[in-house]
Structure 1
Amino acid sequence: MTDPTHSPLPMASTGCACCAPAPATDHATAAAGTASAGSTAAYQVEGMTCGHCASSVTEELTALEGVREVHIDLVAGGTSAVTVTAEHPLSTEEVRVAVEEAGYTLATD
């Protein structure tokens, strides 16, 4: 018997039990819209544990001038992959400051 008041817990890449999962998007359409121009760069961020963490980082990064999209592959308690698509290349320092403003650390090589 299925309990309709309880839904399965979301996967780490979409949130956690304490946070609402991110809304679903059509990544094929989003990718098609950003592929023609701009710059995409990937970063490693330490310290994020849930969807709220990912939302905080996304909010800070999207506040940077020219940022069009932020995608986070959350690894709760580990190092998460953060991909940023912007109209122009961002400096690592700009990204580092935004990530630290959200309360997390940009991983170093």
Structure 2
Amino acid sequence: MTYETRSPLPMASTGCACCAPVPEHAAPAAGTAPSAGTTSTYPVQGMTCGHCATSVTEELTALEGVSEVHIDLVVGGVSTITLTAEHPLSTEEVRAAVEEAGYTLVNL
């Protein structure tokens, strides 16, 4: 039997909205090229750790047409989410997904 050692995601020291066990995800295949499409950037407040980023990523990738999510996490500040989608998404679609994960899309 082979055991795999995994490094834990950093835990927030205070009030993280999502520090529950994270489901396992398949890693993207090596050498996968970034998806073509519309790229949009959104500021999000309230994320404090890797679990937060994972929760938001799960909600956003569930939106129709989203092919890629990149999060620049700023602990205790405003993080930046960059989405690549087959078609432009409305701000309200993105806001609803971010709020479903427990965070706030900063007013644009």
Shift of 1:17: 4.6
**How far apart in 1 are the matches of 2:50 and 2:67?**
20
1:91, distance to aligned residue in structure 2 (A): 0.4
Secondary structure in 2 matching 1:93: helix
Amino acid at match of 2:77: G
What residue is the counterpart of 1:40 in the other structure? Answer: 39
Matching residue of 1:16: 10
TM-score scaled by structure 2?
A: 0.72
Q: How does 1:1-109 map to 2 (within 5 A)?
A: 15-17=9-11, 32-34=33-35, 37-109=36-108
The amino acid that maps onto 1:16 is: P
The unaligned stretches of length 5 or more in structure 1 are 1-6
* 1:52-107: CA deviation from partner (whole Å, max 9, x where unpaired): 00000000000000100000000011100000000110000000000000000000
Percent identical: 70
In the TM superposition, what is the alpha-carbon distance from 1:38 to its structure 2 partner? 1.1
* SS of match in other structure, 2:51: helix
Which consecutive residues of structure 2, in runs of 5 or more, have no partner in the other structure?
1-6, 13-18
1-side partners of 2:45 and 2:34: how far apart? 29
Higher-helix-fraction structure: 1
Runs of 4+ deviating beyond 3 Å: 17-20
Alignment deviations for residues 19-63 of structure 1 (CA, whole Å, 9 cap, x no partner): 89xxx979xx55x542xx410000000000000000000000000
- Do the aligned partners of residues 39 and 77 (structure 1) sit closer, same or farther apart at CA in structure 2, a change above 3 Å counting? same
Letter in 1 for 2:101: A
Aligned-partner SS, 1:54: helix
Total equivalences in the alignment? 92
User: Normalising by the residue count of structure 1, what TM-score does the alignment of the two structures yield?
Assistant: 0.71
- The answer to whether the Cα contact below 8 Å between 2:11 and 2:51 also exists between their aligned partners in 1 is no
One-letter amino acid matched to 1:44: P
